[in-house]
Amino acid sequence: MGLVFWIVLGVLVVYLVTVYNSLVTVKNAVGKAWANIDVLLKQRHDELPKLVDTCKQYMQHEQETLEKVIQARSRVSSAREAQNVGALGAAESALRSGLGQLFALAENYPDLKANEQFLHLQSRISGLENAIADRREFYNESVNINNVAIEQFPGVLVARFFNFKDFALLKFAAEEVQDVDIGARFKG
């Protein structure tokens, strides 16, 4: 009878260690996904001043739009550094809106549209935007896997005992998930 007890106890310990290790794996996947977003946000953060400086040379009457981009860039940076997912979602929406308006206004400046540096920066930032969107999807999937794992039985018991936490999804503003009105983008 004592041997059966030790075998059952051994199996239970191995099972709990396996559950714990799987929770650690999914938690670290969220951290990795966040780090991937962080790298791209930093790269875009470094490119935006170059874009604004290039645009300033041509867009003397568009200071309000340029200021919106600069302010949104600052809010994204603050949220990124604080790892505040909620604030990052809102700041990202403001930045994307500002960039969309800036690129639409650039249509009114033929010299700017022909500027090689502007075209390079526009292409680079657009590429980073696409990569960020891909990474946000991966981050949200990792968060979902983590949050489900710490709520399911028996993971919930291990998660509560070792204080595993859920993570917030990186949500988008309502206007960011709606269809884009291209005509409105070209109106000043």
Instruction: Determine how many CB atoms are found less than 10 A away from the CB of residue 35.
Output: 11
Q: What is the pLDDT of residue 173?
A: 66
pTM recorded for the entire structure: 0.77
Domain count, the chain: 1
Q: Cβ neighbours of residue 164 under 8 Å, at least 6 residues apart?
A: 23, 27, 150, 158
Of 23, 52, 27, nearest in space to 117 by CA: 52
Q: Decide if 11 is inside a domain.
A: no
CATH number reported for the structural domain that contains residue 56 in this entry: 1.20.1440.20
Q: Decide if 1 is inside a domain.
A: no
Domain that holds residue 166: 18-185
Which single residue is written with the structure tokens 């489900």?
Answer: 148
Nearest-angstrom CA–CA distance, 79 and 90: 9
- Condensed to tens digits (0 to 9), the pLDDT of residues 70-113 reads 999 999 999 988 988 888 888 988 898 889 888 888 888 888 88
- Condensed to tens digits (0 to 9), the pLDDT of residues 130-172 reads 999 999 999 999 999 999 999 999 899 999 999 999 999 988 7
